[in-house]
Amino acid sequence: MKKRQWKNIKSWIKFLLAIACVVVFCVFFIFNLWSPLQKPVSIVVPSGASVTRMTNYLYKNKIIKSKELFYFSIRMNGGMIQAGEYDIPRGAGVWTIASMLTKGNIATTTVTIPEGYTVKQIKMMLMKIPYLVGEVDCNEETPVCDLHDGDIFPDTYRIARGTSRLAVLELARKKMLEIKQSLADYPLPKPLKDWNEVMSLAAIVQKETPRIKEMPYVASVYLNRLNINMRLQADPTVIYALTDGLGDMQGEPLLSGHLKIDSPYNTYTNNGLPPAPIANVGRDAIRAVLKPADTKYLFFVADGRGGHRFSKDYAEHQKHHEKWRKIKQNRNK
């Protein structure tokens, strides 16, 4: 008798488990697989939008099949939705969509600010990015409304789509403040006196070479010149003056006559560093200035392979310069 009862109990357990599996599958199907979406869609939840408003929008645009199930899913996920832009994947059910909206799983993207760009170039670049909003200039008395070259840290920033352009600039400004604070106690190489001079020289180094390994050597050349009161004669400073702070000749050549431009940024006609940075710089250029190579180099010129040849005296520099001149002539031919 006991064996028969045990068999009956086991049969009932199997039956109930089967029913439970069917119920779980149905619930999973209804909430996650029962979807009208045949392709991914992007939606925007405006700031302050109610659950009712978004439910009606989703239903009207055939993103969900049931308002009631969506309401229930929202309540089970906390009951509140967050503003932002969302990328809804193909085949997403009401539970998936509700979870995304309540948890704020907004669509994100990246913005890369290149090293060596000026503030003007960065603003022009941001205005061309379609998934950002707003302007890049403002009239308020806030730091982001009064940006100068050297204030922004070039990096790749992960942001929400729909972020304002001013918010991106502020993010990059704060990152540069963090960099400055982390290096505040670092000893400055002679004859640099403050952070503005560090950044001014780092900007020149950044513009002179893209090669990280070369940066300490380029920095050493300019520091050696500063220490003997020799003019820096850095072409990027002339370009900065010629282009009114844009920092890009836009395909036009730099001519010998340009080197006479009357500007405090012209290091061919003025001793010492320019009054402020001519670009926004990355960590490597800053480190190169704070820890330059130990050399006696006073000159450098392009080597035709993307790098430079360095020399201690003008005679050696002239030989290197002649080689570079011949390379340019062959390229022009």
Q: Please indicate, yes or no, whether residues 221 and 299 belong to a single structural domain of this protein.
A: yes
Q: Please indicate, yes or no, whether residues 96 and 114 belong to a single structural domain of this protein.
A: no
Distances in Å between the alpha carbon of 209 and those of 52, 129, 194, 215, 301? 57, 27, 23, 7, 11
Final residue of a domain: which of 77, 106, 135? 106
Residue 12 in any domain: the answer is: no
User: What helix, strand, coil percent values describe the chain, rounded to 5?
Assistant: 50, 10, 40
Residue 148 in any domain: the answer is: yes
Q: What is the CATH number of the domain that holds 48?
A: 3.30.1490.480
Say yes or no to pLDDT of 21 above 60: no
Residue 254 in any domain: the answer is: yes
Q: Please indicate, yes or no, whether residues 201 and 222 belong to a single structural domain of this protein.
A: yes
Q: The dihedral of CA 164, 170, 172, 174: what is its sign? A: negative
Residue 27 in any domain: the answer is: no
Q: Please indicate, yes or no, whether residues 98 and 210 belong to a single structural domain of this protein.
A: no
- Reported confidence tier of residue 324, pLDDT bands at 50, 70, 90: confident
pTM of structure: 0.81
- Reported confidence tier of residue 39, pLDDT bands at 50, 70, 90: confident
* Count helices and strands in the chain by DSSP H and E runs: 11, 6
Q: Please indicate, yes or no, whether residues 95 and 130 belong to a single structural domain of this protein.
A: no
Q: Please indicate, yes or no, whether residues 248 and 263 belong to a single structural domain of this protein.
A: yes
Interatomic CA distance for residues 293 and 128, integer angstroms: 39
Segment (H or E) for 88: strand 84-88
Residue 289 in any domain: the answer is: yes
Final residue of a domain: which of 127, 150, 182? 182
How do strand 41-45 and strand 84-88 relate by DSSP bridges?
Answer: antiparallel
Interatomic CA distance for residues 27 and 25, integer angstroms: 5
Instruction: Give me the chain's average pLDDT, please.
Output: 88
| Average pLDDT, integer, range 6-28 | 51
Residue 16 in any domain: the answer is: no
- How many structural domains are present in the chain? 3
Candidate from 51-60, 87-96, 240-249, 323-332 with smallest mean pLDDT? 323-332
Instruction: Specify the DSSP class assigned to residue 31.
Output: I
CA diameter of the chain: 112
Interatomic CA distance for residues 175 and 204, integer angstroms: 21
Q: Please indicate, yes or no, whether residues 327 and 215 belong to a single structural domain of this protein.
A: yes
Burial group, residue 31, by CB count within 10 angstroms (0-12, 13-18, 19+): buried
Centre a 10 Å sphere on the Cβ of residue 193 and count the other Cβ atoms it contains. Answer: 9
Interatomic CA distance for residues 209 and 308, integer angstroms: 8
* pLDDT 10s digits, 224-250: 999 999 999 999 999 999 999 999 999
Three-class secondary structure of residue 318 per DSSP: helix
Candidate from 20-29, 70-79, 179-188, 303-312 with smallest mean pLDDT? 20-29
- Reported confidence tier of residue 2, pLDDT bands at 50, 70, 90: low
Q: The dihedral of CA 119, 124, 127, 129: what is its sign? A: negative
Say yes or no to pLDDT of 24 above 50: no
Confidence at residue 14, expressed as pLDDT on a 0 to 100 scale: 53
Confidence at residue 11, expressed as pLDDT on a 0 to 100 scale: 57
Q: Residue 255 belongs to what domain range?
A: 195-332
Is residue 102 within 8 Å of 80, Cβ to Cβ? yes
Confidence at residue 93, expressed as pLDDT on a 0 to 100 scale: 84
Three-class secondary structure of residue 49 per DSSP: coil
**Residue 293 half-sphere exposure, CB side, CA atoms within 13 Å?**
18
Distances in Å between the alpha carbon of 98 and those of 41, 102, 162, 170? 15, 6, 20, 32
* pLDDT 10s digits, 79-111: 899 988 888 888 888 888 888 899 988 888 899
Confidence at residue 32, expressed as pLDDT on a 0 to 100 scale: 53
* pLDDT 10s digits, 208-227: 999 999 999 999 999 999 99
44: Cβ contacts below 8 Å, ≥ 6 apart: 84, 85, 86, 162
